[in-house]
Amino acid sequence: MNPLLTTLAAPDTSPGRLIPAALIGIALIVVLITYFKLSPFLSLTLGSLAVGAIAGLAMTDTIAAFSDGFGSTAAGVGTLIALGAMFGKLLADSGGADEIVDTIVGRSNARSLPWAMAAVGALIGLPMFFEIGLVLLMPVIFLVSRRSGVSLVRVGIPALAGLSAMHGLVPPHPGPLVAIDALNANLGITLGLGVLVAIPTVAIAGPLFSKYAARWVDVPAPELYETRPSAEDTRRPSFGVTLATVLLPVVLMMGKALADILLAEGNVLRAVLDFLGTPLVALLIAVLVAMFTLGLGAGMDRKALAKSLEQSLPPIAGILLIVAAGGGFKQTLIDTGIGDLIATWVENSGLSVLLLAWLVAVLIRLATGSATVATVTASGILAPLVANLGVGEVSLLVLAIGAGSLFFSHVNDAGFWLVKEYFGLTVGQNIKTWSVMETVISVTGLVFVLILSLFL
């Protein structure tokens, strides 16, 4: 081979070149998203090319690295996101989500209402994307506030905390799934630890924090959604059936994790649970079961079922491309050797890997406004660190990144404006409530991750 070509194909592994390559690549992504308002998909693609070029990796190799990462991430995570979207759409269209909301809220008094709303947000947030869950819950939040006489912020913040925590910490949401895929974490263990972290985090950032937020900001519920179909007006699946269907994929994935811990290799039951708890199989089973329990249970015919499933996919196209491009960016960082350089620096610095992961995600979140972009970028940067970590530690690394990705939502985050407009708040009021709540989730999540790390 021509020595010149060999030199061009090999990246410069010196810190003086690799560190600027990583910083400039990340800065380019941030500027393109925040200043030029370019799609995160295009920004991540261009950032990957910039990293490869500055690091001295041949353009053909850079493109190959990005394509490999893009393809493997789309294959590993894309189908799961699609199945999750189908499940969430069936839950909404069947009235199952309304049944969960009405049942839990209907059994609550004024004192327990914020806790009930946190439970509603968490349950609805488990299978649904944040934006979809928010749109679904807003009529409920408004009606509950008006009919109970409880402050809109006191009722709304707990529901938002439940939604947001699930979005950042618990699969099958896109962010946690991408981090699990990038870091090769055990999904079942990550799911279990994520729920352990999410429950106290939601309690603190939701019902407890909303006491103070309601004192800082007091706004009436908008006069919207006054009429809403009751259980008598529309046929719905029962609460028990709906709850069992929502929890089915979680139970299957947790079953796999427990089987891997408690049963020996070669055990027939372990083999069965390993198959059923594989994320793709678990979510596929959940969608198929939901077609019967939720779809047919709500009186939907085959045409209505097909329409619901078909309409679930277009809204997630952008998310799929962003997630896959994040995988491409991750692979570019790895192939240039930047990831190994960062891993070596962290090992020699004495810093906690979990704290570092959280800080990296926080910085990207503050700059781009996107929790998903923060998660996929931080996962790519930190991927080389997992070689020296145990299974539980890798799962905690995923959760630390997820917690960091939720830090202080502000004006560059679409969710910030969505909440502001729905609640009828000023920018200042939204910062005092929504933005602070997101920060409480982020910091509290990190604290519980660090506590768990003492036992793993």
The 10s digit of each residue's pLDDT in 114-149 is 999 999 889 888 777 777 778 777 777 887 887 788
Q: Which tops the pLDDT comparison, 362 or 319?
A: 362
- Give me the DSSP letters along 362-409: HHHHHHH--HHHHHHHHHHHHGGGGGGS-HHHHHHHHHHHHHHTTS--
Band of residue 12 on the pLDDT scale cut at 50, 70, 90: low
Is residue 298 a contact partner of residue 245, using CB atoms and an 8 Å limit?
Answer: no
Question: pLDDT at position 303, please?
Answer: 93
Is a pLDDT exceeding 50 seen at residue 7? Answer: no
Question: pLDDT at position 34, please?
Answer: 74
Band of residue 328 on the pLDDT scale cut at 50, 70, 90: confident
pLDDT tens track for 95-108: 888 888 788 788 88
Band of residue 383 on the pLDDT scale cut at 50, 70, 90: confident
Which helix (H) or strand (E) segment is 374 a member of? helix 371-382
Taking residues 229-249, what's their average pLDDT? 77
Spatial separation of the C-alpha atoms in residues 438 and 125, rounded to whole Å: 15
Tell me if 9 is assigned to some domain: no
Spatial separation of the C-alpha atoms in residues 24 and 34, rounded to whole Å: 15
State which of 167-181, 202-216, 247-261, 276-290 shows the largest mean pLDDT: 202-216
Question: pLDDT at position 419, please?
Answer: 87
Q: Which tops the pLDDT comparison, 258 or 290?
A: 290
Cβ atoms within 10 Å, residue 421: 10
DSSP 36: S
Q: Which tops the pLDDT comparison, 76 or 54?
A: 54
Q: By percentage, how much of the chain surpasses pLDDT 90?
A: 38
Tell me if 6 is assigned to some domain: no
Band of residue 255 on the pLDDT scale cut at 50, 70, 90: confident
Containing structural domain, residue 339:
14-453
Question: pLDDT at position 247, please?
Answer: 85
R_g over Cα of the chain: 22
Q: Which tops the pLDDT comparison, 2 or 414?
A: 414
Taking residues 307-330, what's their average pLDDT? 85
Spatial separation of the C-alpha atoms in residues 344 and 391, rounded to whole Å: 20
Taking residues 226-233, what's their average pLDDT? 46
Taking residues 239-247, what's their average pLDDT? 90
Band of residue 396 on the pLDDT scale cut at 50, 70, 90: very high
pLDDT tens track for 177-212: 889 988 999 888 899 999 999 999 999 999 999 999
Taking residues 377-381, what's their average pLDDT? 85
Is a pLDDT exceeding 50 seen at residue 287? Answer: yes
Is a pLDDT exceeding 70 seen at residue 270? Answer: yes
Band of residue 231 on the pLDDT scale cut at 50, 70, 90: very low
What is the number of domains present in the chain?
1
Is residue 430 a contact partner of residue 416, using CB atoms and an 8 Å limit?
Answer: yes
Question: pLDDT at position 405, please?
Answer: 93
Is a pLDDT exceeding 80 seen at residue 300? Answer: yes
Mean pLDDT, rounded, of the chain: 85
Is a pLDDT exceeding 70 seen at residue 309? Answer: yes
Tell me if 3 is assigned to some domain: no
Tokens of 273: 């649970």
Q: Which tops the pLDDT comparison, 62 or 124?
A: 62
pLDDT tens track for 430-456: 999 999 999 999 999 999 999 999 998
101 contact partners, CB below 8 Å, separation of at least 6? 120, 124, 137, 140
164 contact partners, CB below 8 Å, separation of at least 6? 125, 130, 205, 406, 437, 438, 441
Taking residues 311-324, what's their average pLDDT? 84
Tell me if 1 is assigned to some domain: no
